[in-house]
């Protein structure tokens, strides 16, 4: 079966009809208006399902993106965390670099988490850059090995008025940002989240926590109409395996 679906676009909420539909979930009852396009999650390698699940919880139209023909209706693309060297090779093998650049230049917004942020950076310390869409210098594995992964939390005023939980997994550090880049979260000696007009980068993983703040923020950046106000209200109900229902696991 094809797992590519446009989120709630064709479900009983009737959001593809151009009419407002009623979506009921554990957070709230809210109206979802007709949305102008879909947010894609690049489905080559890495944390794909976790992002899909967050988009679903927000009631946003979403789909997996694997090939050139998947891009036509995208207003946003999430490049997930994973392994940036592997992702960069797969982008080349499947000939997806040019199509990403083409759709970016026609207005598609892009959010890179962790490895995704590395692929979007203008400069990767000691390495060849990939898409070069945001003027940042980033250093891979900058905290050490996988064992140096950690969790913390922070306020990111531009994104939410609530404290946001942060998970860093063999994360990079953004070491510097150009003048056209807005720093969203400055930590000790590094930048953890930043954006320009078309690109959002986070070196941590919002998709691995119950918090929806960054997904909501990206949805707004893509021009979607979001009625959910309380982005962390679902935390009590959310489990870190909630994304499993979207995973293709062979039985």
Supply the residues annotated as catalytic. 114, 205, 207
Interface with ligand GLN by CB under 6 A: which residues? 81-84, 114-115, 118, 140-141, 169-170
Q: What is the smallest separation between the CB atom of 105 and ligand GLN, expressed in angstroms?
A: 25
Neighbouring residues of 50: CB distance < 8 A, sequence distance ≥ 6: 80, 205, 207, 208, 243
Q: In the bound complex, what is the minimum distance in angstroms from residue 151's beta carbon to ligand GLN?
A: 13
Angle at which helices 84-93 and 97-105 cross, to 10°: 90
Return the structure tokens found at 125: 């310390």
Nearest to ligand GLN of 73, 127 (CB atom): 127
Both tokens assigned to 124: 């990767």
Nearer to ligand GLN, 118 or 121 (CB): 118
Q: Give the nearer residue to ligand GLN in terms of CB position, either 40 or 80.
A: 80
| Assigned token pair, 65 | 């993106």
Distance CA 191, CA 75 (A): 26
* CB nearer ligand GLN, residue 9 or residue 84: 84
Q: Which residues contact 44 (CB under 8 A, 6 or more apart)?
A: 66, 87, 90, 91, 94, 96
- The nearest distance, CB 115 to ligand GLN, in angstroms, is 3
Q: Cβ 45 to ligand GLN, closest distance in Å?
A: 10
Output the CA–CA distances (angstroms, integers) from residue 162 to 16, 168, 185, in the order listed: 32, 19, 14
């Amino acid at each position: 079966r094809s797992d590519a679906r446009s989120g709630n676009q064709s479900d009983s909420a009737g959001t593809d009809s151009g009419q407002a539909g009623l979506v009921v979930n554990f957070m709230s009852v809210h109206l979802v208006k007709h949305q102008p396009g879909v947010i894609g999650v690049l489905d080559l390698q890495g944390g794909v399902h976790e992002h899909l699940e967050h988009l679903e919880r927000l009631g946003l139209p979403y789909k997996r993106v694997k090939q050139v023909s998947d891009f036509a209706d995208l207003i946003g693309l999430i490049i997930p965390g994973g392994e940036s060297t592997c992702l960069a090779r797969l982008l080349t093998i499947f000939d997806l670099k040019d199509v990403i650049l083409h759709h970016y230049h026609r207005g598609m917004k892009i959010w890179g988490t962790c490895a995704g942020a590395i692929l979007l950076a203008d400069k990767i310390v000691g390495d060849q850059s990939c898409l070069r869409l945001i003027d940042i210098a980033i250093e891979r594995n900058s905290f050490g090995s996988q064992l140096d992964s950690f969790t913390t939390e922070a306020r990111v005023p531009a994104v939410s008025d609530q404290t946001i939980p942060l998970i860093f997994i063999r994360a990079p550090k953004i070491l510097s940002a150009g003048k056209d880049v807005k720093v969203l979260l400055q930590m000790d000696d590094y930048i953890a989240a930043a954006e320009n007009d078309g690109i959002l980068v986070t070196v941590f993983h919002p998709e691995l926590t119950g918090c929806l703040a960054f997904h909501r923020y990206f949805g707004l950046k893509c021009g979607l109409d979001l009625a959910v106000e309380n982005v962390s209200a679902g935390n009590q109900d959310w489990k870190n395996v909630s994304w499993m229902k979207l995973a293709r696991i062979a039985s």
